[in-house]
Structure 1
Amino acid sequence: MTPDQFRRLALSRPEVIESSHMGHPDFRANGRIIASLGSPDEGYGMVKLSADQQSMVCSSQPMVFEPAKGGWGRMGYTSVKLKAAKAVEVREAIALAVQNAMEKKPVRSKKRKA
């Protein structure tokens, strides 16, 4: 899978918009980051899953999914090795991430005081 294929899969969901965070493209649903590209490097994507979902995808597809490094991984951030990934696997992981985000209250942008 290429980064462009990952991007197309994420944006195929009507709830998802593309944005940017820390210089990397990210994908948001309900105001929450559900996926991103380019971290830790250009060969990776990321999906934000629950701990149980992360455990499930990492154990069933260890050549594709792994917890992100450090504390991010403990929060459900899951690295996707793009070269090894198939569209069906990534589509399912993105669907889970979108579902998780839609079940939470929307994130509202913070207005700064002058």
Structure 2
Amino acid sequence: MRTEDLEKRALSLPGAIESAHFGKRDFRVGKRIFMSLPEAGRAVFKFTPGQQKMLLETEPGVCAAVPGGWGLKGWTSVYFADADEDIIGHVMEIAWRNVAPKALLNGAKTSAT
């Protein structure tokens, strides 16, 4: 998957916008970050620790916990360049749902529903 494809997919989610923090691009919904792009080929997603644990077990070559405290909170690196697009789309929707306002969740029609 190319960075451009990942960006397009992120912006297609209801209420998603592109922004930046600490000099890195991010994608938000309702002012909350669900994905950032800290470097080429790697995205960082907002998961719960339980979601992160499952992903690390099921996708060990694609996913890795962010080092330190952020990783303990569920932030997870996903190496998307050679990853299956369906997996990337699914994890992106999970991260989006983790931060989306309830009003958007109630009206959202994504493949994770």
| Cα distance in 1 for residues equivalent to 2:68 and 2:6 | 24
Is the 8 Å Cα contact of residues 80 and 88 (structure 2) preserved in structure 1?
no
Q: Aligned equivalents of 2:9 and 2:56: distance in 1? A: 20
Give the residue type in structure 2 aligned to 1:19.
S
Equivalent residue letter for 2:85 = A
For residue 21 of structure 1, report the CA deviation from its aligned partner: 1.0
TM-score normalized with structure 2 length: 0.82
Whether contact under 8 Å (1:35, 1:47) holds in the other structure is yes
**Change in CA separation of 1:50 and 1:23 when aligned onto 2, cut-off 3 Å:** same
Aligned equivalent of 1:82: 80
Which residue is equivalent to 2:31?
31
Cα distance between partner residues in 1 of 2:47 and 2:67: 14
Identity of aligned residues (%): 35
Larger radius of gyration: 1
Match of 1:64 among 45, 62, 85: 62
Question: Is contact 1:58–1:66 with CA below 8 Å preserved after alignment?
Answer: yes
> How far has the Cα of 1:2 moved from its partner?
1.9
Q: TM-score, normalised by structure 1?
A: 0.82
Partner of 1:73: 71
Q: How many Å separate the matches in 2 of 1:48 and 1:65?
A: 12
Moved over 2 A (4+): none
CA contact (8 A) 1:43 1:82 kept: yes
Unaligned runs of 5+ in 1: 105-114
**Matched residue, 2:109:** none
Greater shift in the superposed pair: 79-88 or 49-58? 79-88
Q: Give me the whole-angstrom Cα distance separating, in 1, the residues matched to 2:28 and 2:47.
A: 13
Q: Which runs of 5+ in 2 are unaligned?
A: 103-113
